[in-house]
A and B are shown apart, each in its own frame.
Chain A
């Protein structure tokens, strides 16, 4: 158990809908990261937050948005869903947000999203 929790574990929805994925980081970690894992794309970095502020953006679509709340939990919002958005979405957390030195990312168990 990494200490990172994600809910829900599974989500099945229809095209055009909107969903929210939730992540609670490890106790004490200030930074959260969202990744998308699909069969043909491997693990793609979406976005990073550090202590409530957006720090880095990766391959995140405009239909997707995220935020980190004062209690440091984070939510990833996916809207106007398409079939191609079906994937595993992972959240990770780290202590220092990959600033200086070694900073390990701890991964949650993931949310499996199926868009029908």
Chain B
């Protein structure tokens, strides 16, 4: 079955690296995503990784995927106050109808302390 879990809260100092973790249960995931939700706004896709990749880097963002442990992480280098938001991980899985179903985690609230 699909279940995506994240820790609820993370606090870091400005300039430090942030690491947000996510675990999922379905090993047949096709894509895994990281979304950012700023206060009062909708979700915005930050990055995604295909399930046959181990790592993806995009400027300050690094995504690591450990398929054996079903663990996904998002590292934000040089965290800024503008990075304060809720971060959701999500996985997509093909269902019996041939369509992908996306399941979201509970979200991790990142607080950046100046």
Contact = CB atoms under 8 A, between A and B. Distances in A.
Contact of A43 (B41, B95, B100, B107): B107
Interface residues of A, number: 22
A42 B3 CA distance: 12
Given A98-B92, A107-B44, A42 B106 contact: yes
Given A98-B99, A102-B48, A103-B100, A109 B107 contact: no
Interface in A88-109: 90, 92, 97-99, 102-109
A56 interface: yes
A4 B104 CA distance: 19
The main secondary structure of chain A at its interface with chain B is loop
A98 B42 contact: no
Contacts of A104: 45, 48
B43 interface: yes
B45 A105 contact: yes
A43 B92 CA distance: 14
Interface of A: 2, 4, 35, 42-43, 45, 55-56, 90, 92, 97-99, 102-110
Closest 4 CB pairs of A and B: A107-B42, A98-B100, A42-B106, A43-B104
